[in-house]
Amino acid sequence: MHSVTAVNKVPALTFMFWVVKIAATTLGETAGDTVSMTWKLGYLTGSAIFLSALLVLVVLQITAKTFRPFLYWATIIASTTAGTTLADFADRSLGIGYPGGSLLLLVSVLAALALWYYSQGTVSVDTVNTPRVEAFYWATITLSQTLGTALGDWTADSGLGYLGGALVFTAALAIVAAAYFWSRISHVVLFWTAFILTRPLGATVGDFFDKPHSQGGLAVSRPVASAIIAVFIVFCLLAFPQKAGKHPKKVS
């Protein structure tokens, strides 16, 4: 047996990965709110629209033969936008509030990770290179984006406000980053922790941009904010090209 390098279809976890991830989650918040609130289509209709788009993009992502940065991040944006409307539907339309919605979604994320681990023996993103693993990956990502939205809204509405909530989650991410470099905590655990925490950070930043001044926001139009963030993401992908992550795979 010897090892070769197998290429997966998700990006290497560089600093720019996290920059684009936070921007994508912020876009998910503003775009989701644009459809469900600004255009007044409602949370259920918004969820149906974005879940349909997500399903199409996931199929394209799984059938792609190589890593395609724009396809990958379009799928991430679809998942985080769907997460916005799904979380709002769970928190508000189902009447279970932020604590109930967050708990329900946390259980869902843990269940998805448990099923993935039971099936594959790992939940590391370094192994995302088969249709089965990609299906687990995207299911877990979508649920984690939804959980992050609920956590962000809960924190902001608890009295901290949108800016206070953003500072809380920025501090939490700094702690996770420190643990990555200076502790022996599993990098897989730290990745999923950071991945979940970037979503409420994006949610609070997105709300900070588009909420009215009376609610502690900047009152920027949601469509305008969405367009600005989308342009920033495209700039990052063009200026800082991303490469696929790699992992060793044993062959005979």
123, 113 in Cβ contact below 8 A? yes
Q: Using one digit for the tens of pLDDT, what is the confidence trace for 53-81?
A: 999 999 999 999 888 999 999 999 999 89
8 Å CB contact between 227 and 27: no
Residue 7, classed as helix, strand or coil, is strand
Q: From the CA atom positions of the chain, what is the Rg in Å?
A: 18
Tokens 């979503």 belong to which residue? 199
pLDDT the model gives residue 3: 43
User: Given this model, what pLDDT does residue 41 score?
Assistant: 84
pLDDT number for residue 47? 84
Q: pLDDT (tens digit, 9 = 90+) per residue, 179-210?
A: 999 999 999 999 999 998 998 898 788 888 87
pLDDT of 249 over the 80 cut? no
DSSP assignment letter at 127: G
pLDDT tens across 137-185, in order? 999 999 988 888 788 878 877 778 778 888 999 999 999 999 999 999 9
- Residues 127-145: b if buried by 16+ CB within 10 A, e if exposed: bbbeeebbebbbbbbbbbb
The pLDDT assigned to 210 comes to: 78
Task: Indicate if the pLDDT at residue 36 is higher than 90.
Answer: no
Q: Which two tokens stand for residue 46?
A: 């918004």
Are the C-beta atoms of residues 251 and 4 closer than 8 Å to each other?
yes
Return the closest-CA partner of residue 109 out of 154, 149, 146, 144: 144
pLDDT digits (tens, 9 = 90+) for 89-130: 776 666 777 787 788 888 999 999 999 999 999 999 888 888
> What is the distance between the alpha carbons of residues 160 and 61, in angstroms, rounded to a whole number?
38
Q: How far apart are the first and last CA of the chain?
A: 5
In the predicted structure, residue 220 carries a pLDDT above the cut 80: yes
pTM of the model: 0.88
d(CA 114, CA 109): 9
